[in-house]
Amino acid sequence: MKEGTIFILFGATGDLVKRKLIPAIYDLHSNGEKIKIIGIARRQSNPEKLINASKKYISNYNKKTLNEIKNNMSYIQMDFLNSEKYKLIKKELRKIGYTRKLFHLSTMSENFEKISENLKKINVIDNNSSILYEKPFGNDLKTAKKINKKIKSIFSEKNIYRVDHFLGKELIEGIIFTRFSNEIFEPLWNKKHIKSIRFYLDEDINLKNKAVFFEKYGVIKDVVQNHLFQLIALTCMEKPKQINPHSIQNEKAKVLNKLKIKDSLFAQYKGYRNEKNVNKKSKVETFAALKLEINNKRWKGVPIYLKTGKNLSKKDTKIVIEFKEPNCSFSKPCNFENNYLEIRIWPNPGMSICINEKLPGKNKINPIKLDFCYDCKFGPNTSKGYKEVYLHALNKDQQLSVSFNEIINSWRAIDKLKKNKLYSYKPKSKGPKELLKFNKKHGIKL
């Protein structure tokens, strides 16, 4: 066996592989990781086509490295539900003969059981293997339990990674450090001092090429059950006993267990039903706003607000922690703004704290922002989810993997959600006009 890693990408012709996985492998290779890639999907394709399609998602790529990746890649055209074909994978793995194998199931979860069973049959999983399952893990609590039971009967938990690449973004990984290593935050991080916590995940892309997937999931299962609930869990959890995967996952699971959805608003962008592969009468939501509560001692009564949508005016992922009204008894008029901490994931990764300050030459208060720009301090391109996910898996570190308890608790909350009316909104807008009313009702100021 030779030292090196083989990435086996199920769903190699898909959007995720093109936009994120090949670029992540490119970065690892550039950092000196010895790699080979086996791509698997049904369409006719080849390494050259796949690498070319990824080019524009790799910032400042150089041709030599790209060529090396291409020369280290093979493509197997097969139906991954057909067990007969797995001998082709086994043959290719043998031929390469590298020590580490990372199987990434970049496909919908309805395929997870079958692919896992087939991998078991060809006997290619060993202690040095990681099997990565994409989110959403299941379609509801029942299917998630069924999939988990099956994969646990085949592989050991230490080989299993339930991926949520948001956990690999630097600003998100950093949330617990911001909280627990700063005396100016942690003592205030509770219902006595915090007025609301808001989570935003706005995307500007439409669903032109993702409808087959999206029609089954909608925005709630695409990003709320996983990415946004993970953000809530990290922001609101109790201090873990230690910084290790088990302690962190445990604390996150406890928050998710107490999460209750109290109100909701759903919408679909105009023209969605005309996208390729979309049902002309589709009721799938492409936008959601939710009000939630965490029913525990720290957070009871604090509104948690969440907004996400596709085809909106801009891409914007952030967390806003708004503190309660400051005491302004010594100042007339009382025009203090509430302090807030904003954690920006994208764009302009970084953080701002808004405080009230005196205007020069006047006895008047004005809110100002203290700003931390992540890229200015640490350099650009440091916040790459999948590269981190891969590095952790290669180091056998499950900190960026989601435990099954977290998944169960997330689905429990989502399964109870009743979809009420579906509003509509203009593409490239801020969302449905009913959002204003929803925000007003919940005292949300954007």
Ligand X SMILES: NC(=O)c1ccc[n+]([C@@H]2O[C@H](COP(=O)([O-])OP(=O)(O)OC[C@H]3O[C@@H](n4cnc5c(N)ncnc54)[C@H](OP(=O)(O)O)[C@@H]3O)[C@@H](O)[C@H]2O)c1
Binder of ligand X out of 27, 113, 134, 275 (CB under 6 A): 134
What is the spatial distance between Cα 373 and Cα 385, in angstroms, rounded to a whole number?
18
C-beta closer to ligand X: residue 181 or 277: 277
What is the spatial distance between Cα 39 and Cα 363, in angstroms, rounded to a whole number?
66
CB of 37 to ligand X, least distance (A): 14
CA proximity to 317, closest of 242, 188, 223, 247: 223
Residue 42 binds ligand X (CB under 6 A): yes
Residue 16 binds ligand X (CB under 6 A): yes
CB of 105 to ligand X, least distance (A): 8
CA proximity to 290, closest of 176, 204, 416: 416
Beta strands in 311-433 (DSSP E): 316-323, 340-346, 350-358, 365-373, 422-425
Binder of ligand X out of 36, 104, 135, 179 (CB under 6 A): 135
Residue 305 binds ligand X (CB under 6 A): no
Active site residue 227: yes
Residue with tokens 């689905």: 411
In the β-sheet with 194-202, what is the strand arrangement from edge to edge? 365-373, 350-358, 340-346, 316-323, 194-202, 304-309, 287-294, 259-269, 422-425
Binder of ligand X out of 5, 13, 398, 409 (CB under 6 A): 13
By Cβ distance, which residue is nearest to ligand X?
A: 14
**Residues 27 and 35 sit within 8 Å (Cβ to Cβ):** no
What is the spatial distance between Cα 12 and Cα 28, in angstroms, rounded to a whole number?
18
Binder of ligand X out of 106, 148, 311, 317 (CB under 6 A): 106
Residue 216 binds ligand X (CB under 6 A): no
Residue 12 binds ligand X (CB under 6 A): yes
35 φ, ψ (degrees, to nearest 5): -130, 155
CB of 227 to ligand X, least distance (A): 8
Binder of ligand X out of 155, 189, 213, 214 (CB under 6 A): 213
* Paired sense of beta strands 304-309 and 194-202, if any: parallel
Residue 113 binds ligand X (CB under 6 A): no
**Residues 195 and 338 sit within 8 Å (Cβ to Cβ):** yes
C-beta closer to ligand X: residue 224 or 354: 224
Residue 169 binds ligand X (CB under 6 A): no
Residue among 29, 165, 227, 392 flagged as catalytic: 227
Site string for ligand X, 64-103 (x = CB under 6 A): ---------------xxx----------------------
Binding site for ligand X (CB under 6 A): 11-16, 19, 41-43, 79-81, 106-108, 134-135, 165, 210, 212-213
Task: List active site positions.
Answer: 227
